[in-house]
Amino acid sequence: MNMTKRLRKTEGFKIVGTRPQRPDGIEKVTGRALYGADLSVPDMLHGAVLRSPHPHARIVSIDASAALEMPGVRAVVTSADFKKQAKFFMQDTLDNCMARDFALYDGHAVAAVAAKTRKQAEEAAAKIRVEYEILPHVTEVEDAMKPDAPILHAGRSYRNIPEGNNANVTNYVEFGHGDVEAGFKDADLIVERSFKTAATHQGYIEPNACVASMGPDGRGELWVTTQGHYMVRDFCAPFLGLEESKLRVTPSEIGGGFGGKTTVFLEPVALALAQKSGKPVKMVMSREEVFRASGPTVSSWTDVKIGMTRDGKITAAQAKLRYQGGAFPCGTIALGAMTAFAAYDLENVQALGWNVMTNRPMQASYRAPGAPMAIYTVESVVDELSQKLGLDPLEVRLKNAAKKGTKSSYGPTFSDIGLVATLEAAKNHPHYRAPLGPNQGRGISCGFWFNFGGNSSVSLHVSPDGTVAVTEGNPDIGGSRASISMMAAEELGIPYDKVRTIVGDTNSIGYSDTTDGSRVTFTVGIATIKAARDAIRVMKGRAAKVWGIDEDAVIWEDGAAKPSGPNAGEFPPMTMEEIARNAFKTGGPIAGHYEANSDGAGVSFGVHLVDVEVDPETGFTKILRYTVFQDAGKAIHPAYVEGQMQGGAVQGIGWALNEEYIYGADGRLQNPGFLDYRIPVASDLPMIDTVILEIPNPGHPYGVRGVGETSIVPPLAAISNAVSRAADVRLCELPMSPPRVLAAIDAKG
């Protein structure tokens, strides 16, 4: 037995790398899988939320007496029904769920009702009388920074905010190294541009939903669609004044999240209504509520300046990023400023960032939060420099690419990263050399995301027949039960179909961080592999006992214990089935568990290539061909890795071409529905080709690197660069809707 191979395996896999059916597949194709809104329980009430029609107002009074007289009504709650929180972030999250003193955006929850039917609850909510004192509002980042802008809340700025900013500016960050001013002097060409990106919504198809029940003894049950049920518990318990372990949260199947379900909206409200009414309460958001009061991402306004030599070397790079993250302080700007230049090996680099509050919903994470809009601006300017200098844009990126030993723009020195290999793969792909027709253009962009590790728990039980039940604590958002079953089977040396993986509730498995940061296959994978090793240790011990030999003389291979070494003796292999069958006679039930606290997730790079055709008459952009190149470390289930790459690319296509939050002068959201907030549909798109690179991540036993988020980063610039080349005019604002592209074409004359 080779011990190094045992600790880290990069080849010779039997199951990892194959494409088996996912274990939850049958339920999902037959309609049996239960999502957030699919559960009903006996004697259940329905909740409805009254939302502010004003973007900014002081709540003078709330009178629910008429609502409480309505038929079927059992309870009304307002912010007064929740516990005050000591920490700003907790109080902000609670205030976003239910307005306290001030309504801060159109759609902000002000009160909620529980009644026998949903209709009764909605009718009663409409009868709640709220007296508002309307205040001036601001929804756009550039307006919110002006000296005379309406202020959302004073006193929330961090102390390092430079002089001259108003109280809406809450966060200020600086990253970089070297001397950009000196670097610009060495440049042969400097391009400086200003960009804007619209706020977009995660756009999950399943609206937020939950069913809550509460007893007078402080025990609660919550069924909820979420990316993290421990996160939901850790918000809701203090909001309601409960002890954490008394609130059991069970995750439903989740109909998409993309970061949007990494916080709470309805959950504490449903629990408060359940507490007050003494009945279970179901709450489901309408699509309009999803748009007005959940998500979205930040919108941005960024200036970028990059200098380059005639032969394509970047001499200095600077970005000034300004994000609005809605009505509360928001740290996403730091991620934008850190990621903006991450793909480059730069001597002189500086990224400055400001977060600004506006009268919009509190932003929620959206797939690689902060990165797409930052990298869009940098990759646009790099492309324009390449174009103006007559250089191949891919060669320019190769020339300046971050690699092992590069001091990254956010500080640390990169170890093994796959950007150069990914760029080389794009360069050598037929797509890069395919001919283009009239009005067509090709765009390229790099993308980057950190990837996370963190905490996750796995418990693995060997059943008496030798099959295996795995319980883990991370909601399965895109097929992770398959990859976890595969890693368990691989490690145990048994067939994939002998393993069943389920997602446990908060009280049936140990704490697990939210399903975010592309961390599940990485961290739950580590926990699964180590839980399997724990079970193998137990099983080897049982075999040793039966054989009467030393435990160290037993190895595990192909799903069986085998004697090994000079003094082990001759015994036929003892299979897992046999060990399991005799478990109760040899020492009791067999299980393994592991609680991971993992680091070393390994950063991720991707490169996207896109061909577009722009109609010069209408400004409409058609995506003709799209190829995604990404380093997956080791692809456990390649089909689901491809799916992440394709899905992220298409979300990015929507962001680039169609999607935007549109606020009117009245501060109200004008397009809270899928008709006017248009996400990509099947007929908008070609096939999305994928090239998976496998450069093993040294931080994972099988080399896994997170893959979920990086793919949404490059499309914004890749498409903007393609459109700019096709239309022969540089586009600097997203989305590139037909009127905007047409205006740019007309403006160039």
Partner 1 sequence: MSKIHVTTTVNGDTVEYLCEPTETLLDVLRDRLNLTGAKEGCSTGDCGACSVELDGRLVSSCLVLAAEAGGKTVATVEGMAKGENLHILQEKILEHAALQCGVCTPGILVAAKALLAKNPDPTEEEVRFWLAGNLCRCTGYDKIIRAVLDAAAEMRGA
Partner 2 sequence: MVKVTLWGSLRSATGGLEQVEASGTNTREVLDDLAKKYPALETVIAGGVSLAIDGTIYKDAWFTPISDSSEVVLMPYMAGG
173 binds, among partner 1, partner 2, none (CB under 5 to 8 A by kind): partner 2
344 binding partner 2? (CB under 8 A)? no
Least spacing, CB of residue 540 vs partner 2, in Å: 30
Q: How far apart are CA 706 and CA 690, in angstroms?
A: 16
Question: Of residues 503-542, which lie at the interface with partner 2 (CB under 8 A)?
Answer: 516-519
Instruction: Indicate whether 15 belongs to the interface with partner 1 (CB under 8 A).
Output: no
Q: Looking at beta carbons only, is 413 or 683 nearer to partner 1?
A: 683
Residue 519 binds partner 1, judged by CB under 8 A: no
Q: Which is nearer to partner 1, 29 or 665 (CB)?
A: 29
CA separation for the pair 233, 683 (Å, rounded):
41
Closest alpha carbon to 454 in 528, 530, 367, 512? 512
Rounded to whole angstroms, the Cα distance separating 530 from 524 reads 10
- Residue 743 interacts with partner 1 (CB under 8 A)? no
474 or 737: CB nearest partner 2: 474
Chain-centre distance of CA 403, in angstroms?
25
Q: Which of partner 1, partner 2, none sits in contact with 687, Cβ below 5 to 8 A by type?
A: partner 1
Quick check: 637 binds partner 1 (CB under 8 A)? yes
Q: Which is nearer to partner 1, 286 or 387 (CB)?
A: 286
3-state secondary structure of 470: strand
Chosen residue from 170, 459, 646, 737 binding partner 1 by CB under 8 A: 646
367 binding partner 2? (CB under 8 A): yes
Q: Contacting partner 1 (CB under 8 A), which of 141, 240, 484, 649? A: 649
Which span (4-12, 17-25, 412-420, 489-497) binds partner 2, by CB under 8 A?
A: 412-420
Determine the longest span between alpha carbons in the chain, in angstroms.
Answer: 89
540 binds, among partner 1, partner 2, none (CB under 5 to 8 A by kind): none
Continuous segment of H or E residues that includes residue 607: strand 604-614
Does position 37 interact with partner 1 (CB under 8 A)? The reply is: yes
Candidate ranges 307-315, 526-534, 595-603, 717-725; the one touching partner 2 (CB under 8 A): 595-603
From the list 96-104, 185-193, 320-328, 362-370, the region that binds partner 2 by CB under 8 A is: 362-370
Q: Which does 172 bind (CB under 5 to 8 A by kind): partner 1, partner 2, none?
A: partner 2
Pairing assessment for the beta strands 468-472 and 499-503 based on DSSP bridges: parallel
Please choose, from the candidates 404, 439, 395, 388, the residue with its C-alpha nearest in 3D space to the C-alpha of residue 607. 395
Main-chain dihedrals φ then ψ at residue 59, nearest 5 degrees: -85, 105
Q: What is the dihedral of CA 80, 85, 88, 93, to 10 degrees?
A: -60
Handedness of CA 475, 477, 482, 486 (dihedral sign): negative
Single out the residue of 592, 606, 615, 480 nearest to residue 527, CA to CA: 592
Is residue 63 at the binding interface for partner 2, with CB under 8 A as the rule? no
Secondary structure (3-state) at 195: strand
Residue 413 touching partner 2 (CB under 8 A): yes
674 contributes a contact to partner 1 by CB under 8 A? yes
Other CB atoms within 10 A of residue 739 CB:
11
Q: Residue 570 Cβ, how far from partner 1 at the closest point, in Å?
A: 45
| Least distance in angstroms from the C-beta of 288 to partner 1 | 9
User: What is the rounded (10 degree) CA torsion for 684, 690, 696, 701?
Assistant: 60
* Assigned token pair, 355: 């977060």
Q: Which two tokens stand for residue 67?
A: 């609502």
The verdict on 211 binding partner 1 (CB under 8 A) reads no
Give the binding range for partner 1 (CB under 8 A) out of 157-165, 519-527, 579-587, 639-647: 639-647
Strand partners, 301: 196, 322
* Selected binder of partner 1 within 47, 183, 255, 336 (CB under 8 A): 255
Among 709, 724, 729, 735, binds partner 2 (CB under 8 A): 709
Q: Which does 137 bind (CB under 5 to 8 A by kind): partner 2, partner 1, none?
A: none
Structure tokens that stand for 297 in this block: 């991402």
E strand or H helix at 292: helix 287-293
Q: Quote the least distance from Cβ 279 to partner 2, whole Å.
A: 35
- The strands making up 440-449's β-sheet, listed across from edge to edge, are 440-449, 604-614, 621-631, 688-693
- What DSSP assignment string belongs to 532-584? HHHHHHHHHHHHHHHHTS-GGGEEEETTEEEE-STTS-----EEHHHHHHTHH
Residues at the contact surface with partner 1, assessed by CB under 8 A = 19, 21-22, 24-26, 28-35, 37-38, 40, 202-207, 253-258, 284, 286-287, 477-479, 637, 639-640, 642-644, 646-651, 673-675, 679-685, 687-688
